[in-house]
Chains A and B, each alone.
Chain A
Amino acid sequence: MKIIWAALLGVMLWRMWPVAKHWMENGPKGSQKEWLNVSMLIGGVVLFVGLLVAFVRS
């Protein structure tokens, strides 16, 4: 079953590669401000998960 699962993930990787390549080469590039904005949002998610962990441990 693990081998089937790994093979399926391999197929997914193979199918995703052209899409990823297209996005890397032709996708819009974000400015420093846009990436900072994303970092703050993801940072908020990290803090929130930290709070959830603290809640579960308490």
Chain B
Amino acid sequence: MSSQFTSPVARSESGVLAQHKVLRQTYTLLAMTLLFSGLMAVVSMMVAPPAMISMVCSIGAIVILMFVLPKFEEQAAGIGIVFLATGMLGFGLGPMLNYYVSVPNGGSVVATALAGTGGIFLGLSAYVLTTKKDFSFMGGFLMVGIMVLFGAIILSLFVNMPALSLAISAAMVLLMSGFILFDTSRIINGGETNYIRATVSLFINIFNLFTSLLHLLGVMGDD
């Protein structure tokens, strides 16, 4: 691990080589954080903490990613912070997963959401990596889209509307798919040179995609 993560910032000896290095380091760290997050979710399912822990963990992880990580993202210490935040997000999934597993057909819904998330991520990533197309033109659209979605999420916290909640999940799946194209294209085209930032972006995309897909399948799969 130490040889792989010597410096979070790719030095530009040669553009293409540096981009390949960022890509390799990003996918290695992403795989490790996903495994760790999954492990923490399993631990959380076994411990069965109260449902409120999900919100506490999400708030904690967002505070860490928003205020602490930017100070360390150029140092190797940033890797530990990424593991802390992704572990918290994984732990926060426990109560939701326990709920889905306890309802009829819930195990199948969780497995399908997991497989679906993997399929969407691998499919879109493979498309960008093989075609090497530049999707940076989506930046403005995605930023405005996520801001509108955040506004809708704030509204849904105080207004109990199941249809709004479902619409948010559907929009989140589409937006996160767009962000996977955008973020992957930024890595391979040199727009992102820090693998810690790149990993966090892709992790958040996958995490949001999974939780939204789980919600969609949980509601739509129910007669």
Please state if A52 and B59 are interface contacts (CB–CB under 8 Å): no
Interface flag for B101 (CB, 8 Å): no
Report B-chain residues with C-beta under 8 Å of the C-beta of A17: 147
Q: How far is the CA of A4 from the CA of B62 in the complex (A)?
A: 12
Residue from the list A29, A38, A56 in contact with B221, Cβ < 8 A: A56
> B134, B140, B216, B217 — which one has the most chain A CB atoms within 10 A of its CB?
B140
**Contact flag A8-B59 (CB < 8 Å), given A2-B158, A57-B221:** yes
Report A-chain residues with C-beta under 8 Å of the C-beta of B56: 1
Stretch at the interface among B32-40, B83-91, B119-127: B119-127
Interface flag for B78 (CB, 8 Å): no
Interface flag for B76 (CB, 8 Å): no
Please state if B120 and A45 are interface contacts (CB–CB under 8 Å): yes
Interface flag for B31 (CB, 8 Å): no
**Contact flag A34-B158 (CB < 8 Å), given A1-B52, A41-B177, A49-B216:** no
Report A-chain residues with C-beta under 8 Å of the C-beta of B153: 9
Question: What residue in chain B is nearest A25 (Cβ atoms)?
Answer: B140
Please state if A20 and B140 are interface contacts (CB–CB under 8 Å): yes
Please state if A45 and B143 are interface contacts (CB–CB under 8 Å): no
Q: Which residues of A from 9 to 58 have beta carbons under 8 Å from B?
A: 9-13, 15-17, 19-20, 23-24, 27-30, 34, 37-38, 41-42, 44-46, 48-49, 52-53, 55-57
Interface flag for B17 (CB, 8 Å): no
B residues contacting the other copy or chain, number (CB 8 A): 48
Please state if B173 and A13 are interface contacts (CB–CB under 8 Å): no
Q: How far is the CA of A47 from the CA of B42 in the complex (A)?
A: 30
Report A-chain residues with C-beta under 8 Å of the C-beta of B221: 53, 56-57
**Contact flag A41-B119 (CB < 8 Å), given A10-B154, A17-B147, A56-B108:** no
Question: What residue in chain B is nearest A45 (Cβ atoms)?
Answer: B177
Please state if B137 and A41 are interface contacts (CB–CB under 8 Å): no
Nearest-CB distance from A28 to chain B (Å)? Answer: 5
Residue from the list B59, B124, B134 in contact with A5, Cβ < 8 A: B59
**Contact flag A30-B120 (CB < 8 Å), given A5-B157, A16-B146:** no
Nearest-CB distance from A51 to chain B (Å)? Answer: 9
**Contact flag A16-B133 (CB < 8 Å), given A45-B173, A56-B217, A56-B220:** no
